[in-house]
Structure 1
């Protein structure tokens, strides 16, 4: 049990460091290409709008927490 909790904490800490160092990741839908094939024709990816990157979930949560904290402490 203790080993599982330590592994979970280390995994979460590793993901937090990854979000701080590299906040953007390749788009999941287009694989970082910026285009998807629809009906045989290449189209701009609707998820990333051709930017090829997406903001990681952990970084998005951190940004929301930071905005909320700053708004509450003014």
Structure 2
């Protein structure tokens, strides 16, 4: 029991570090709504441009938005 908690914490920290590095090096990811296809099917079966990614198939990762927000707040506080 005493070794499970530190290992779980280490695994979570490792995953968070990996994700932040991924967001820093590759800020764009596939759109979750259309899965990169640039369109999605409606309930009646017709195709529509994805409004989440504006039909591009890619979106900025959530972690990259967080990094940009932190950077903006840091710079605004140190001026």
TM-score (norm: length of structure 1): 0.91
Is 1:2 matched with 2:6? Answer: yes
- Work out the number of aligned pairs and report it: 74
1:20 match: 24
Q: Greater CA radius of gyration, 1 or 2?
A: 2
Aligned to 1:60: 65
The alpha carbon displacement at 1:40 in A equals 2.2
Residue 57 of structure 2 corresponds to residue 48 of structure 1: no
SS of the aligned residue for 1:18 comes to helix
TM-score of the two chains, using structure 2 as the length reference: 0.86
Which deviates more, 36-45 or 26-35?
36-45
1:25-50, CA deviations, whole angstroms, 9 ceiling, x for partnerless residues? 10001000111112222111011110
For structure 1, list consecutive stretches of 5 or more residues without a partner in the other structure.
none
Supply the RMSD in Å over aligned alpha carbons: 1.0
